[in-house]
Amino acid sequence: MRRRASLVLLAFAVFFAAMSPLVRWYVFPRLAKIPPSQYQETVLEAKPATLLDYNDGMKVKQVPKVTIVQTLKGNVEESEKIERSAGRDVVVWDGLSYVVDPNGKMVSQIPERYIFDAHSQAPVHATGEMVDGDPVRREGIEFKWPFLTQKRDYEYFDAQTRTSSPIHYRGTRTFHGMDVYYFEQTIPWTKVPMPKKMPIEGVTAEQVAKTGMTRWYTTKRMFWVDPVTGAPVNGEEIHKEELRNAKAMGMSQDTVTAFAGHVKMREDYVDSIVALVKSQRTPVLLLTSYLPWGFAGLGAALLTLALWLEARSRRPEGDLPDGAPAPAPDPEPTPA
Protein backbone atom coordinates (compact mmCIF):
# COMPACT_ATOMS: atom_id res chain seq x y z
CA MET A 1 0.00 0.00 0.00
CA ARG A 2 2.82 2.43 0.88
CA ARG A 3 4.62 1.67 -2.38
CA ARG A 4 1.47 2.41 -4.41
CA ALA A 5 1.02 5.72 -2.59
CA SER A 6 4.66 6.66 -3.16
CA LEU A 7 4.29 5.98 -6.91
CA VAL A 8 1.19 8.19 -7.08
CA LEU A 9 2.99 10.98 -5.21
CA LEU A 10 6.02 10.60 -7.49
CA ALA A 11 3.79 10.97 -10.56
CA PHE A 12 2.26 14.17 -9.15
CA ALA A 13 5.74 15.46 -8.26
CA VAL A 14 6.92 14.96 -11.85
CA PHE A 15 3.73 16.64 -13.16
CA PHE A 16 4.11 19.78 -11.04
CA ALA A 17 7.86 19.96 -11.69
CA ALA A 18 7.15 19.89 -15.42
CA MET A 19 4.34 22.47 -15.11
CA SER A 20 6.63 25.01 -13.41
CA PRO A 21 8.76 25.92 -16.48
CA LEU A 22 5.84 25.19 -18.83
CA VAL A 23 3.67 27.91 -17.28
CA ARG A 24 6.51 30.45 -17.29
CA TRP A 25 8.01 29.82 -20.72
CA TYR A 26 5.10 28.42 -22.75
CA VAL A 27 1.78 29.51 -21.25
CA PHE A 28 2.75 33.07 -20.24
CA PRO A 29 4.13 34.21 -23.65
CA ARG A 30 0.87 33.03 -25.27
CA LEU A 31 -1.65 34.33 -22.74
CA ALA A 32 -0.11 37.71 -21.83
CA LYS A 33 -1.20 40.21 -24.46
CA ILE A 34 -2.73 43.64 -24.96
CA PRO A 35 -6.48 43.49 -25.70
CA PRO A 36 -7.29 44.88 -29.17
CA SER A 37 -10.19 47.01 -27.91
CA GLN A 38 -8.33 48.94 -25.20
CA TYR A 39 -9.13 52.64 -24.79
CA GLN A 40 -7.10 55.11 -22.77
CA GLU A 41 -7.25 58.86 -22.28
CA THR A 42 -4.54 60.88 -20.54
CA VAL A 43 -4.42 64.60 -19.78
CA LEU A 44 -1.08 66.38 -19.44
CA GLU A 45 -0.42 70.01 -18.56
CA ALA A 46 2.41 72.52 -18.83
CA LYS A 47 2.03 75.08 -16.04
CA PRO A 48 3.14 77.77 -16.85
CA ALA A 49 4.18 77.73 -20.51
CA THR A 50 5.46 79.90 -23.32
CA LEU A 51 3.12 79.85 -26.30
CA LEU A 52 2.84 81.55 -29.68
CA ASP A 53 -0.65 83.07 -29.90
CA TYR A 54 -1.69 82.55 -33.51
CA ASN A 55 -4.93 84.47 -32.95
CA ASP A 56 -3.37 87.63 -31.51
CA GLY A 57 -0.87 88.93 -34.02
CA MET A 58 1.44 85.90 -33.75
CA LYS A 59 2.77 87.11 -30.39
CA VAL A 60 4.78 84.99 -27.95
CA LYS A 61 3.11 84.98 -24.54
CA GLN A 62 3.54 83.50 -21.09
CA VAL A 63 0.34 81.59 -20.35
CA PRO A 64 -0.78 79.92 -17.11
CA LYS A 65 -1.43 76.54 -18.71
CA VAL A 66 -1.29 74.51 -21.91
CA THR A 67 -3.25 71.25 -21.95
CA ILE A 68 -2.45 68.14 -24.00
CA VAL A 69 -5.09 65.41 -24.28
CA GLN A 70 -3.75 62.08 -25.51
CA THR A 71 -6.13 59.30 -26.53
CA LEU A 72 -5.35 55.74 -27.60
CA LYS A 73 -8.24 53.76 -29.05
CA GLY A 74 -8.01 50.14 -30.14
CA ASN A 75 -9.20 49.57 -33.70
CA VAL A 76 -10.52 45.99 -33.57
CA GLU A 77 -11.60 45.84 -37.20
CA GLU A 78 -8.18 46.88 -38.50
CA SER A 79 -6.33 44.58 -36.09
CA GLU A 80 -8.35 41.56 -37.25
CA LYS A 81 -7.66 42.47 -40.88
CA ILE A 82 -3.89 42.70 -40.29
CA GLU A 83 -3.86 39.53 -38.17
CA ARG A 84 -5.13 37.50 -41.15
CA SER A 85 -2.09 38.45 -43.23
CA ALA A 86 0.47 38.71 -40.41
CA GLY A 87 -0.43 35.37 -38.82
CA ARG A 88 -0.10 36.66 -35.25
CA ASP A 89 -2.00 38.68 -32.63
CA VAL A 90 -1.87 42.35 -33.61
CA VAL A 91 -3.10 45.51 -31.90
CA VAL A 92 -3.91 48.70 -33.79
CA TRP A 93 -4.02 51.88 -31.74
CA ASP A 94 -5.47 55.04 -33.27
CA GLY A 95 -3.96 57.86 -31.24
CA LEU A 96 -4.50 61.59 -31.10
CA SER A 97 -2.46 64.27 -29.33
CA TYR A 98 -4.65 67.36 -29.03
CA VAL A 99 -3.11 70.57 -27.64
CA VAL A 100 -5.23 73.52 -26.45
CA ASP A 101 -4.41 76.94 -25.00
CA PRO A 102 -5.86 78.35 -21.74
CA ASN A 103 -8.96 79.51 -23.67
CA GLY A 104 -9.65 76.04 -25.03
CA LYS A 105 -8.55 76.92 -28.58
CA MET A 106 -6.72 74.29 -30.58
CA VAL A 107 -2.95 74.79 -30.88
CA SER A 108 -2.18 71.54 -32.70
CA GLN A 109 -3.50 68.03 -33.21
CA ILE A 110 -1.41 65.07 -34.34
CA PRO A 111 -3.16 61.77 -35.19
CA GLU A 112 -1.24 58.49 -35.23
CA ARG A 113 -1.79 54.85 -36.09
CA TYR A 114 0.47 52.50 -34.15
CA ILE A 115 0.46 48.79 -35.12
CA PHE A 116 2.27 46.31 -32.87
CA ASP A 117 2.49 42.70 -31.69
CA ALA A 118 0.00 42.10 -28.88
CA HIS A 119 2.46 39.92 -26.93
CA SER A 120 5.89 41.53 -27.40
CA GLN A 121 4.89 45.13 -28.29
CA ALA A 122 7.28 44.95 -31.25
CA PRO A 123 6.09 47.08 -34.20
CA VAL A 124 4.21 45.36 -37.02
CA HIS A 125 4.64 47.10 -40.36
CA ALA A 126 1.40 47.26 -42.31
CA THR A 127 -0.57 49.63 -44.49
CA GLY A 128 -1.96 52.46 -42.40
CA GLU A 129 1.00 52.90 -40.05
CA MET A 130 1.35 56.69 -39.91
CA VAL A 131 1.88 59.93 -38.01
CA ASP A 132 -0.24 62.93 -39.00
CA GLY A 133 -1.07 61.28 -42.31
CA ASP A 134 2.58 60.58 -43.19
CA PRO A 135 3.46 56.88 -43.67
CA VAL A 136 6.12 55.77 -41.18
CA ARG A 137 8.01 52.60 -40.39
CA ARG A 138 8.52 52.42 -36.64
CA GLU A 139 11.45 50.70 -34.99
CA GLY A 140 11.39 49.98 -31.27
CA ILE A 141 8.52 50.73 -28.91
CA GLU A 142 6.10 53.59 -28.38
CA PHE A 143 3.67 54.29 -25.50
CA LYS A 144 4.28 50.91 -23.78
CA TRP A 145 7.24 48.77 -22.77
CA PRO A 146 7.18 44.94 -23.09
CA PHE A 147 5.88 42.73 -20.31
CA LEU A 148 8.65 42.05 -17.77
CA THR A 149 10.61 45.15 -18.73
CA GLN A 150 14.38 44.75 -18.35
CA LYS A 151 16.94 47.11 -16.84
CA ARG A 152 18.37 48.20 -20.18
CA ASP A 153 17.99 50.79 -22.92
CA TYR A 154 15.24 50.43 -25.53
CA GLU A 155 14.67 51.95 -28.96
CA TYR A 156 11.79 54.43 -28.63
CA PHE A 157 9.90 56.03 -31.51
CA ASP A 158 9.51 59.81 -31.52
CA ALA A 159 6.37 60.91 -33.37
CA GLN A 160 7.58 64.46 -34.03
CA THR A 161 10.81 63.48 -35.82
CA ARG A 162 9.38 60.17 -37.15
CA THR A 163 12.58 58.44 -36.03
CA SER A 164 13.67 56.03 -33.27
CA SER A 165 16.54 56.48 -30.84
CA PRO A 166 17.58 54.95 -27.50
CA ILE A 167 15.62 55.70 -24.36
CA HIS A 168 17.97 55.05 -21.46
CA TYR A 169 17.33 53.12 -18.27
CA ARG A 170 18.36 55.40 -15.37
CA GLY A 171 17.61 53.24 -12.34
CA THR A 172 14.84 51.98 -10.09
CA ARG A 173 12.60 54.46 -8.30
CA THR A 174 9.66 54.30 -5.91
CA PHE A 175 6.53 55.92 -7.29
CA HIS A 176 3.17 55.87 -5.44
CA GLY A 177 4.33 52.84 -3.46
CA MET A 178 5.48 50.92 -6.56
CA ASP A 179 9.01 49.93 -7.57
CA VAL A 180 9.33 51.28 -11.11
CA TYR A 181 12.06 51.68 -13.73
CA TYR A 182 12.94 55.24 -14.74
CA PHE A 183 13.80 55.98 -18.40
CA GLU A 184 15.03 59.14 -20.15
CA GLN A 185 15.34 60.14 -23.77
CA THR A 186 16.66 63.43 -25.14
CA ILE A 187 15.84 64.49 -28.69
CA PRO A 188 18.26 67.23 -29.86
CA TRP A 189 17.05 70.16 -31.92
CA THR A 190 15.60 68.62 -35.07
CA LYS A 191 13.67 70.02 -37.99
CA VAL A 192 10.18 68.51 -37.96
CA PRO A 193 7.14 68.81 -40.26
CA MET A 194 4.44 71.39 -39.74
CA PRO A 195 1.21 69.89 -38.38
CA LYS A 196 -1.31 69.18 -41.14
CA LYS A 197 -4.01 70.89 -39.07
CA MET A 198 -2.90 74.47 -38.49
CA PRO A 199 -4.36 76.71 -35.75
CA ILE A 200 -4.97 79.55 -38.24
CA GLU A 201 -8.15 79.13 -40.23
CA GLY A 202 -7.48 78.86 -43.98
CA VAL A 203 -3.72 78.39 -43.62
CA THR A 204 -2.25 75.02 -44.58
CA ALA A 205 1.08 73.40 -43.81
CA GLU A 206 1.95 73.47 -47.52
CA GLN A 207 1.41 77.24 -47.67
CA VAL A 208 3.66 77.78 -44.65
CA ALA A 209 6.36 75.53 -46.09
CA LYS A 210 6.44 77.57 -49.30
CA THR A 211 7.40 80.69 -47.33
CA GLY A 212 10.60 79.01 -46.12
CA MET A 213 9.63 79.05 -42.43
CA THR A 214 10.58 75.84 -40.64
CA ARG A 215 9.59 74.17 -37.38
CA TRP A 216 12.23 72.80 -34.97
CA TYR A 217 11.78 70.74 -31.84
CA THR A 218 13.69 69.33 -28.86
CA THR A 219 12.53 67.46 -25.80
CA LYS A 220 13.69 65.58 -22.75
CA ARG A 221 11.28 62.66 -22.29
CA MET A 222 10.89 60.87 -18.93
CA PHE A 223 8.90 57.73 -18.07
CA TRP A 224 8.29 55.80 -14.86
CA VAL A 225 7.50 52.23 -15.98
CA ASP A 226 6.04 49.31 -14.07
CA PRO A 227 8.47 46.46 -14.89
CA VAL A 228 5.82 43.72 -14.54
CA THR A 229 3.24 44.99 -17.05
CA GLY A 230 5.51 47.35 -18.98
CA ALA A 231 2.95 50.15 -18.56
CA PRO A 232 4.15 53.70 -17.82
CA VAL A 233 2.56 54.99 -14.61
CA ASN A 234 3.87 58.52 -15.16
CA GLY A 235 5.34 60.55 -17.99
CA GLU A 236 6.86 64.02 -18.34
CA GLU A 237 8.52 66.08 -21.07
CA ILE A 238 10.59 69.26 -21.06
CA HIS A 239 9.40 70.33 -24.48
CA LYS A 240 10.47 73.19 -26.76
CA GLU A 241 9.40 74.18 -30.28
CA GLU A 242 10.69 77.01 -32.46
CA LEU A 243 9.74 78.55 -35.77
CA ARG A 244 12.86 79.53 -37.72
CA ASN A 245 13.09 81.91 -40.68
CA ALA A 246 9.95 83.38 -39.12
CA LYS A 247 10.41 86.77 -40.81
CA ALA A 248 9.19 85.07 -43.96
CA MET A 249 5.78 85.01 -42.26
CA GLY A 250 5.97 88.67 -41.27
CA MET A 251 7.26 88.18 -37.72
CA SER A 252 9.67 90.64 -36.15
CA GLN A 253 12.23 87.99 -35.16
CA ASP A 254 13.75 85.27 -37.29
CA THR A 255 13.52 82.63 -34.51
CA VAL A 256 10.30 82.49 -32.49
CA THR A 257 9.35 80.17 -29.63
CA ALA A 258 6.16 78.35 -30.62
CA PHE A 259 5.87 76.39 -27.37
CA ALA A 260 8.03 75.75 -24.30
CA GLY A 261 7.07 74.12 -21.05
CA HIS A 262 7.49 71.25 -18.61
CA VAL A 263 4.65 68.89 -19.50
CA LYS A 264 3.40 66.70 -16.66
CA MET A 265 0.60 64.19 -16.32
CA ARG A 266 -2.34 65.57 -14.36
CA GLU A 267 -2.43 64.13 -10.85
CA ASP A 268 -5.91 62.61 -11.05
CA TYR A 269 -4.87 60.69 -14.18
CA VAL A 270 -1.70 59.51 -12.43
CA ASP A 271 -3.82 58.10 -9.60
CA SER A 272 -6.20 56.28 -11.97
CA ILE A 273 -3.36 54.83 -14.06
CA VAL A 274 -1.47 53.62 -10.97
CA ALA A 275 -4.65 51.89 -9.70
CA LEU A 276 -5.24 50.28 -13.10
CA VAL A 277 -1.65 49.03 -13.41
CA LYS A 278 -1.68 47.60 -9.88
CA SER A 279 -4.76 45.55 -10.78
CA GLN A 280 -3.12 44.30 -13.99
CA ARG A 281 0.05 43.15 -12.23
CA THR A 282 -1.62 40.17 -10.51
CA PRO A 283 -2.38 38.05 -13.65
CA VAL A 284 1.16 38.62 -14.95
CA LEU A 285 2.77 37.74 -11.62
CA LEU A 286 0.51 34.67 -11.38
CA LEU A 287 1.95 33.27 -14.63
CA THR A 288 5.55 34.41 -14.17
CA SER A 289 6.15 33.96 -10.44
CA TYR A 290 3.37 32.65 -8.21
CA LEU A 291 2.39 29.54 -10.20
CA PRO A 292 5.88 28.53 -11.46
CA TRP A 293 7.48 28.81 -8.01
CA GLY A 294 4.42 27.29 -6.34
CA PHE A 295 4.44 24.31 -8.70
CA ALA A 296 8.19 23.87 -8.20
CA GLY A 297 7.82 23.93 -4.41
CA LEU A 298 4.85 21.56 -4.49
CA GLY A 299 6.73 19.15 -6.76
CA ALA A 300 9.73 19.13 -4.40
CA ALA A 301 7.49 18.49 -1.39
CA LEU A 302 5.66 15.65 -3.13
CA LEU A 303 8.97 14.09 -4.22
CA THR A 304 10.27 14.20 -0.66
CA LEU A 305 7.10 12.57 0.64
CA ALA A 306 7.19 9.91 -2.08
CA LEU A 307 10.80 9.01 -1.27
CA TRP A 308 9.99 8.81 2.43
CA LEU A 309 7.06 6.45 1.82
CA GLU A 310 9.21 4.35 -0.53
CA ALA A 311 11.88 4.04 2.14
CA ARG A 312 9.25 2.99 4.71
CA SER A 313 7.82 0.37 2.32
CA ARG A 314 11.26 -1.16 1.70
CA ARG A 315 12.05 -1.66 5.44
CA PRO A 316 11.87 -5.40 6.42
CA GLU A 317 9.33 -6.30 9.06
CA GLY A 318 12.10 -7.36 11.48
CA ASP A 319 14.06 -4.14 11.17
CA LEU A 320 13.63 -1.75 14.05
CA PRO A 321 14.36 1.91 14.20
CA ASP A 322 17.59 2.83 15.96
CA GLY A 323 17.17 2.91 19.73
CA ALA A 324 13.87 0.99 19.75
CA PRO A 325 13.69 -1.67 22.55
CA ALA A 326 13.75 -5.32 21.46
CA PRO A 327 10.45 -7.18 21.93
CA ALA A 328 10.22 -9.43 25.02
CA PRO A 329 10.87 -13.18 24.35
CA ASP A 330 7.94 -15.54 24.37
CA PRO A 331 7.39 -17.02 27.85
CA GLU A 332 8.57 -20.61 28.52
CA PRO A 333 5.70 -23.08 28.33
CA THR A 334 4.51 -24.28 31.74
CA PRO A 335 5.13 -28.06 32.20
CA ALA A 336 2.00 -30.10 32.61
Provide the residue ranges of all domains of the chain, joining segments of one domain with +: 32-265
pTM of the shown model: 0.87
**pLDDT confidence of residue 283:** 93
The amino acid present at 142, given as its one-letter code, is E
What's the pLDDT at 165? 97
pLDDT at 333: 57
CB-based burial, 211-226: b 16+ in 10 Å, e otherwise: eebbbebbbebbbbbb
CA pair distance 333, 329, nearest whole angstrom:
12
pLDDT of residue 322: 54
Burial class (CB within 10 angstroms; exposed 0-12, middle 13-18, buried 19+) of 247? middle
The pLDDT assigned to 305 comes to 86
CA distances from 59 to 101, 246, 252, 258 (A): 14, 12, 10, 9
Residue 321 has what pLDDT? Answer: 53
Q: From the CB of residue 129, how many other CB atoms can be counted at a distance below 10 Å?
A: 19
Q: What is the pLDDT of residue 336?
A: 45
Q: In this predicted structure, what is the pLDDT of residue 177?
A: 93
What does the pLDDT read at residue 70? 96
The whole-number pLDDT of residue 267 equals: 96
Q: CA-CA distance, 38 to 121, in Å (whole number)?
A: 14
Using CA atoms, how far apart are residues 93 and 73, in angstroms rounded to an integer?
5
pLDDT value at position 314? 72
- Sign for the CA dihedral angle at 285, 286, 290, 295 comes to negative
In a structure prediction context, what are the per-residue pLDDT tens digits for the chain, which is 336 residues long?
Answer: 556 777 888 888 889 889 999 998 999 999 999 999 999 999 999 999 999 987 777 789 999 999 999 999 999 999 999 999 888 999 999 999 999 999 899 999 999 999 999 999 999 999 999 999 999 999 999 999 999 999 999 999 999 999 999 999 999 999 999 999 999 999 999 999 999 988 887 788 888 888 899 999 999 999 999 999 999 999 999 999 999 998 887 787 899 999 999 999 999 999 999 999 999 999 999 999 999 999 999 989 988 888 887 777 776 654 555 555 555 555 555 554
- All residues at 6 or more sequence positions from 17 whose CB lies less than 8 Å from its CB, including other chains: 295, 296, 299, 300, 303
> Which of 244, 256, 250, 241 lies closest to 66 in space, CA to CA?
241
